[in-house]
């Protein structure tokens, strides 16, 4: 199965269909190619692959949002050992999931993975709120990233990282840090309950981001030590900063050296709860896509090794 999002990166996804089909046919591969028709369609296609049991591999031509949908479709009936294996042709804006997979961005390389790639099993995150539940392949965020996504559309003609920089500058000019309470390894009595070994962070926060991999937003190394196969999620909790501190630390995020800043805490975790202590509704995002619902608390946990992904046979095991 080949799933193409024609609207990825302002329509770039539409332009890869021809070269993609030509490459698949030149290799004599049997395939079915479907272009997504709207929000949720990629998830429906992935779920069909699981239910029908006839598809062994899925090539996704799209960005992180498309991969988010595909993963949720694959896992809609729960984690299982016989899921189709994913290969990625990155044609999105950020492509941070592809940074975890590695390799170049050529059509030929993505198709070659279908034949020669090694299967690796990535962790995913699972977030629950009120009556909702969803998986994320790389990022769950509360704070400035939500404001950034609201403003990104105005800069969508810019390339990846420049688009995020422009939207971030606009967001910083209007964003008011949120009172947040994050409990790591909460107890069994509820999302915000503390238990043995819990750590509590409570402050006015610029950002509370929980990731599977190291980068977000097209290359910001928010969690530089994150590994998608270690059975853990990574938290970057950033307290409110003044303009000088923001200007000082933003370049460090690109290099992944911001962890020494007084306002930044980096942690690894299996479970966490993110909530507003003043009970205000929270807006949040998953894999670079705004979630339409709001909630007063988010319960997050790692689901280890459930997403089979193809990587280049030359990639190291580290």
DSSP 216: B
- Do residues 172 and 206 lie in contact, with contact meaning Cβ atoms separated by under 8 Å? no
pLDDT band with cut points at 50, 70 and 90 for residue 213: very high
Position 198 confidence tier, pLDDT thresholds 50, 70, 90: very high
Element (H, E) at 306: strand 297-311
The tens digit of pLDDT for each residue in 68-102 reads: 999 999 999 999 989 999 999 999 888 999 999 99
CA distances from 216 to 64, 147, 238 (A): 10, 15, 15
Q: φ, ψ for residue 41 (rounded to 5)? A: -65, -40
The full length of the chain comes to: 318
Higher pLDDT, 242 or 211: 211
- pLDDT for 146-194, tens place per residue? 998 888 778 877 776 688 788 888 888 888 999 999 999 998 777 877 8
pLDDT mean across residues, the chain? 92
pLDDT confidence of residue 171 = 86
pLDDT value, residue 189: 74
| Whether residue 270 has pLDDT greater than 70 | yes
Distance CA 192, CA 268 (A): 18
Tell me what pLDDT residue 316 has.
57
In the predicted structure, residue 318 carries a pLDDT above the cut 50? no
> From the CB of residue 318, how many other CB atoms can be counted at a distance below 10 Å?
5
**Cα angle, residue 75 at apex, residues 235 and 213 outer, rounded to 5°:** 25
Please state, in angstroms and rounded to a whole number, the distance separating the CA atoms of residues 7 and 61: 11
pTM for the model stands at 0.93
State yes or no: pLDDT of 110 exceeds 90: yes
Q: What mean pLDDT comes out for the span 269-289?
A: 94
Q: What is the mean pLDDT of residues 226-245?
A: 95
Amino acid 160: pLDDT: 65
Tens digits of per-residue pLDDT, 246-269? 889 989 998 999 999 999 999 999
Maximum alpha-carbon separation in the chain: 60
- Cα dihedral 68, 73, 75, 78, rounded to 10, equals 140
Percent of the chain with pLDDT over 70: 98
- Does residue 45 surpass a pLDDT of 80? yes
Dist. CA 67–CA 88, nearest whole Å = 8
17 within 8 A of 75, measured Cβ to Cβ:
no
Domains and CATH numbers, the chain: 2-116 (3.40.50.10330), 129-304 (2.60.200.40)
Q: What is the pLDDT of residue 236?
A: 98
Can you tell me whether residue 106 is helix, strand or coil? coil
- Which of 123-132, 172-181, 191-200 is least confident? 191-200
């Amino acid at each position: 199965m080949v799933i193409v999002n024609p609207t990825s990166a302002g329509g770039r996804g539409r332009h890869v269909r021809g070269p993609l089909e030509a490459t698949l046919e030149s290799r004599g591969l049997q395939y079915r190619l479907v272009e997504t028709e709207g929000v949720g369609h990629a998830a429906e296609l992935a779920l069909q692959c699981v239910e029908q049991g006839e598809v062994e591999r899925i090539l996704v031509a799209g960005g992180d949002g498309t991969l988010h949908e595909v993963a949720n479709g694959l896992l809609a009936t729960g984690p299982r050992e016989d899921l189709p294996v994913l290969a990625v042709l990155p044609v999105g804006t950020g492509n941070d999931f592809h940074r975890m997979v590695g390799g170049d961005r050529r059509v030929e390389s993505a198709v070659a993975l279908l034949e020669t790639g090694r299967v690796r099993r990535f962790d995913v995150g699972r977030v629950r709120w009120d009556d909702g539940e969803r998986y994320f392949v790389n990022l769950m965020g509360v704070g400035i990233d939500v404001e950034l996504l609201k403003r990104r559309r105005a800069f969508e003609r810019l390339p990846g990282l420049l688009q995020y920089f422009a939207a971030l500058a606009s967001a910083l000019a209007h964003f008011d840090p949120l009172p947040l309470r994050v409990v790591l390894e909460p107890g069994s009595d509820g999302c915000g309950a503390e238990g043995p070994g819990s750590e509590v962070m409570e402050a006015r926060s610029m950002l509370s981001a929980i990731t599977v991999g190291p980068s977000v937003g097209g290359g910001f190394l928010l969690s530089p030590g994150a590994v998608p196969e270690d059975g853990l999620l990574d938290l970057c909790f950033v307290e409110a900063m003044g303009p000088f501190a923001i200007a000082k630390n933003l370049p460090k995020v690109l290099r992944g050296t911001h962890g020494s800043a007084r306002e930044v805490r980096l942690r690894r975790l299996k479970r966490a709860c993110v909530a507003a202590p003043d009970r205000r509704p929270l807006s949040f995002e998953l894999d670079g896509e705004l979630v339409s619902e709001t909630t007063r608390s988010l319960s997050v946990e790692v689901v280890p090794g459930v997403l089979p992904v193809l990587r280049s046979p030359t990639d190291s095991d580290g």
